[in-house]
Structure 1
C-alpha cells in the first residue's frame, strides 16, 4: 500500500504582534488551524484504507460522508494557510503604486479604491465564511468572492490572491460578533502586500 499523505502544521509565529488582532486571538486561531490539519490527516488515512481494501463505493454512506467532509477540512486547512501567509506586523497601508498587484487591481476594477470598497462590502456581509480576491488564470482578471464554509463558491481553477477569514473565531476575542467591520479594518492594517503580490501570475 502507498504511504499515506500527511500534512504538518506550518509555523506562523511571524504573525504575532499584529495591529488590532491580539496574540491571544491568534493563539486560539492557530490551534483551530492545527485541528484542520489533524482532521485532514485522519480523513485521508481512513479514505486511503477504504480504497486499499477495495471498498470505495459511492453507495456507501460512510465513504460518501468521509469524502465530503475531507473537502471541508482540507479547504479549511489550506484557506488558513493563505490567510496567515498574507498577514504580517508593520505592513504597508496599501499595495505600492506601479507594482504588479496594484496594476492587476486597477486593470480589473478601474482603480484600487473601487476594489477595496467591493472587498470590504463582501467581507462585512452577514454569514460565516471567507472574503477572497481570486485571479482568473485565463484572463488574469481579479474578482472578489464570498466563500461559504471553506469550499463552497470557490471559482474552479481560480487562484486565491488575498484571503480574509470572516468566521467569528477569527476575531471574537478582540471584537463583538456584531463588530466584523472593525475586524476588517484591523485586517487591512496587517495585510502583507508583498506576500499577496507574489500570488499574482
Structure 2
C-alpha cells in the first residue's frame, strides 16, 4: 500500500515562515513520499524477479531508509508546528519529565537549541528512551544516521538549510527562535506520544 501525502497547508501564514519557504519545503517533502513509494515498488519487483541478492538491490534497499526517514521526519516536523504556537502545559507529564531529566525546562531548551546550532545539516530531536525512561536531546545527521534504537521521537526540528535559508540566510539562530514560537506543545503527532503520560506515570 502506497504512502499518502499529508497536507500541512494550514501552516501557511505562520509567523516567521514565509509562504514561499513553506511551499518549497512541502514540495521537498512530497519528493520523499514519491521516492519512498517508487523504491518500494522497485524493490518488490526485484524480489519477485529473483534479484534480491544483487548489488543493485542492496543499494536501493539502503536508499529506502534514507527516503523513508526523509518522509517521516518531515511529517513529524510539520506536525510539531501550529500557527501562533501552543505553549507547553507546566502541569503536563511531559513538562514534569523534562524538568526531572534536565533540571529545568530552561536547561532543556538551551541544550536543544545548542544542538540545532551545531554546524552541518541534520535534525535536532527530543527522544524518549522507553527502556531507561529518559528524555534525550539528539543530533541526527542526514535522515538515517544517528537515530536511537527503540526510542520514541517527541519533538523534531529540521536544521537543513532548506528549512530556513530563504527567510533567514545564514541566521540559523533566528530561525530556531521562530520555530520555538510555532511549536505545538500538545505533542500529539505520533502514536508514541499518546502513550507518554502512561509511560511517565509508570516510572
TM-score by length of 2: 0.91
| Structure 2: 5+ residue stretches without partners | none
Give the aligned partner of residue 103 of structure 2: 110
Q: In the alignment, what sits opposite 2:150?
A: 157
Aligned match for 2:4, one of 3, 8, 15: 8
- In structure 2, C-alpha distance between the alignment counterparts of 1:113 and 1:37, rounded to whole Å: 36
- Whether contact under 8 Å (1:132, 1:160) holds in the other structure is yes
Deviations 1:57-88 (A, max 9, x none): 1xx22111101110100000000000000100
Q: Which residue of 1 aligns with 2:41?
A: 45
Runs of 4+ in 1 over 3 A off after TM superposition: none
Q: Which runs of 5+ in 1 are unaligned?
A: none
CA root-mean-square deviation: 1.4
| 2:173 aligned partner | 181
Shift of 1:33: 0.1
Higher mean C-alpha displacement, 5-14 vs 77-86? 5-14
Counterparts of residues 90-101 of structure 1 (less than 5 Å) = 90-92=84-86, 94-101=87-94
Counterpart in 2 of 1:170? 163
* The structure with more helix, counted as a fraction of residues: 2
Q: Is the 8 A contact 1:133 1:161 kept in 2?
A: yes
- 2:61 matches 1:67: yes
**In the TM superposition, what is the alpha-carbon distance from 1:100 to its structure 2 partner?**
1.6
TM-score normalised to structure 1 length: 0.92
How many pairs are equivalent? Answer: 193
